[in-house]
């Protein structure tokens, strides 16, 4: 593997994890990936980007489905186009996982969401972060950012976090908020984004040393 590094960020809605990820990538001079992963996966597979975007919703409606994703999903294996399940949720995930692994192997990057911490699990060049904040802080943030009422902001947070949790469990069999799956768990409300970034950079320096 090349001497590249990757930082993955999972985040609670309203915690500022995406904003922190963009700031971190800019400060480090690294590439940043979020929804760009869907476009890259679409370009490689020839499958509509819209189908990748809709996969989250269909997974959320399949909460009763047991975790059954094969390990090669995380190794970059994909289902060939001549198979009936080529555009299945599982294969859409496989393509995203392939892109995530390739990015981590070829460039310095910050990757937000998409179970990236699990896809890259165990790799020494990767730091996995989970960014969270108390519910009342997240509600205030969402109200300010989108001009929502308190009730609408609270509902948006619950729905989004539920969807993210369902997606993560469906494809990994793990709890999205389990600290065991991350190197760093950061409360953005206590430290602010800039201090969180300093902590991540200090961790990078420590493991390099």
Could you read off the pLDDT of 9-23 as tens digits, one per residue?
999 999 999 999 999
Greater pLDDT, 196 or 81: 196
Q: Is residue 1 predicted with pLDDT exceeding 50?
A: no
115-142 pLDDT per residue, tens: 999 999 888 889 999 999 999 999 999 9
Helix (H) or strand (E) holding 33: strand 31-33
- Per-residue model confidence as pLDDT tens digits over 148-182: 999 999 999 999 999 889 888 888 889 999 999 99
Q: What pLDDT, on a 0 to 100 scale, did the predictor assign at position 166?
A: 87
pLDDT at 39 over 50: yes
The tokens describing 97, both together, are: 């996982």
- State the average pLDDT over residues 85-110: 82
- The pLDDT value recorded for residue 63 is 45
Residue 118 lies in a domain: yes
What's the mean per-residue pLDDT of the chain?
A: 83
What percentage of the chain's residues is helix, strand, coil (to nearest 5)?
Answer: 55, 10, 30
Helices (H) and strands (E) in the chain, counts: 8, 5
**CATH code for the domain of 125:** 3.40.50.300
Q: Taking Cα atoms as reference points, which of 128, 81, 79 lies closest to residue 100?
A: 128
The predicted model scores a pTM of 0.84
CB distance 131 to 33 below 8 Å: no
Q: Note whether residue 1 is domain-resident.
A: no
Tell me, yes or no, whether 48 lies in a domain.
yes
Beta bridge partners of 184: 129
* Mean pLDDT, rounded, for 48-55: 65
**How confident is the model at residue 138, as a pLDDT?**
96
Calpha distance 116→38 (Å, rounded): 13
Residue 84 pLDDT? 47
- Say how far apart CA 181 and CA 176 lie, in whole Å: 8
What is the spatial distance between Cα 97 and Cα 104, in angstroms, rounded to a whole number? 11
In a domain, 125, yes or no: yes
Which secondary-structure segment (H or E) carries 6?
strand 6-11
Range of the domain at 148: 6-208
CB 156 within 8 A of CB 142: yes
* Model pLDDT for residues 56-76, shown as the tens digit of each residue: 555 554 544 444 454 455 555
Rounded to the nearest 5°, which phi and psi values hold at 15?
-85, -15
Q: Is residue 70 part of a domain?
A: yes
Q: Total structural domains in the chain? A: 1
């Amino acid at each position: 593997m090349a001497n590249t590094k990757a930082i993955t960020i999972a985040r609670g809605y309203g915690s500022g994890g995406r904003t922190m990820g963009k700031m971190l990538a800019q400060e480090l001079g690294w590439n940043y990936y979020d929804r760009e992963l869907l476009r890259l996966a679409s370009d490689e597979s020839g499958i509509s980007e819209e189908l990748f975007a809709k996969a989250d919703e269909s997974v959320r409606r399949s909460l009763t489905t047991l975790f059954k994703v094969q390990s090669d999903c995380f190794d970059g294996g994909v289902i060939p186009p001549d198979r009936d399940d080529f555009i299945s949720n599982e294969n859409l995930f496989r393509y995203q996982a392939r892109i995530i692994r390739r990015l981590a192997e070829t460039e310095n990057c910050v990757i937000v969401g998409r179970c990236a911490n699990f896809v890259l699990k165990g790799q020494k060049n990767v730091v996995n972060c989970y960014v969270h904040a108390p519910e009342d802080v997240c509600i205030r943030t969402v109200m300010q950012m989108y001009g929502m009422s308190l009730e609408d902001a609270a509902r948006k947070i619950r729905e989004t976090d539920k969807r993210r949790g369902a997606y993560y469990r469906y494809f990994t069999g793990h709890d999205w908020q389990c600290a065991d799956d991350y190197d760093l768990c950061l409360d953005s409300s206590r430290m602010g984004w800039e201090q969180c970034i300093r902590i991540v950079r200090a961790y990078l320096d420590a493991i390099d040393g």
